[in-house]
Amino acid sequence: MPAPAPLLDVRRIYVEEAAASLPRGQQILGRWPDAELVPVDSHWRIPELHGDEANVRRWVRIKTEALVLGVKKSLAARPNGRSADFIAPSTANGCAMACAYCSVPRRKGYSNPITAFANIEQISGYLARHVRRQGEKPAPNQCDPTAWVYDIGENSDCSVDAMVSDNVRDLVDLFRALPTAKASFATKWVNRDLLDWDPQGRTRIRFSLMPERLRRLVDIRTSPTPQRIAAIDDFVAAGYEVHLNLSPVIVTDGWLDDWAVLLDELDAALSPATKAQLAAEVILLTHNAALHEVNLGWHPKAEEVLWRPDLQEDKRSENGAINVRYRAGEKRRHLEAFTALVAERLPSCRIRYAF
């Protein structure tokens, strides 16, 4: 059997001039010295990457071979209240993986490979000041009982970003020194280099999980579910807080049976120390008509489970976008059945929120 293709085989780096002049930009360029450098005025406006429908046919190739190097110009920590108290300014967006339901391509356009931001000192400084302005957390909430939680990976996967630069490690180091806050990110990639970072409990990793049969269909280029499960105890032992991101929950024939198997595997695999700190988020699938059309051009099999007009209805999201979600009454029923299953099969895992 041939070896799997590498997640990253960077051949071209699209570079903003300001990013190339910064130390982090130089570090990134130094990791791929043979890559072709393509000067760009803006990481947001690269016609051959963003907004070109012809790129659908090269979806995975672009994610493998292209990297964008830019400067993050707008620095703001947005209130959230679900997974985190705040969404931190991104140190990257886009991804080398290719999950068929990903929301990021809807905003930036088509394949959307990794964009790494070189002004990490500005981002870190802003975050440190923002945390200090909050003071002590006044009361527990669903994000955390004592710490302000900052999601540092809303638009990317930090475990993969760590293969590109030291940005993620710099943020883990930053939050280790901030006693009133912690960093948080969800991941679908097992990067064991992170085990040496000594986060001292100030970074929460949320391992995203779904039944392996479904993962192979929709979580393209991600770490297999058994590999993610096998890593959880190791990350807890290394000083991370580890939660689960049980998402997206996709309704298919036999979906609850598949999840029951996965939850049983977790219950058998996880150590008492892991279970003592375990919590989970549950998120049912949200999809989008525009992404549905894009996916038909590169991965139509995934749309057989993602695009279900017989089960779904339009829903305006908080950001104003029109998405499709399971019909309200059915969604409530699905959530009730799923949370009851978690309580039965993985009773050590409290559910922080479900929607």
For residue 3, is it within any domain? no
Query: Over 61-116, what HEC string results?
Result: HHHHHEEEEECCCCCCCEECCCCCCEECCCCEECCCCEECCCCHHHHHCCCCCCEE
Residue 43 CA: distances (Å) to CA of 22, 25, 194, 282: 15, 13, 27, 33
Residue 176 lies in a domain: yes
**What CATH number corresponds to the domain at position 188?**
3.80.30.30
pLDDT > 60? residue 3:
no
Indicate whether 6 belongs to any domain: no
Domain annotation covers residue 2: no
For residues 40-52, give the mean pLDDT: 81
**1 in a structural domain:** no
User: Does 88 fall in a domain?
Assistant: yes
Instruction: Please check the confidence at residue 167 and state whether its pLDDT lies above 50.
Output: yes
Residue 2 has pLDDT above 50, yes or no: no
Residue bearing the bigger pLDDT, 138 or 50 = 138
Q: Which domain holds residue 219?
A: 12-354
Residue 251 CA to residue 129 CA, distance in Å, equals 43
Domain count, the chain: 1
**Model confidence at 116: pLDDT above 90:** yes
Question: Of all residues in the chain, what percent carry a pLDDT higher than 70?
Answer: 94
Strand order in the sheet with 92-93: 36-40, 12-16, 66-70, 115-117, 92-93
In a domain, 5, yes or no: no
In a domain, 91, yes or no: yes
For residues 123-144, give the mean pLDDT.
Answer: 98
Q: What is the mean pLDDT of residues 85-113?
A: 84
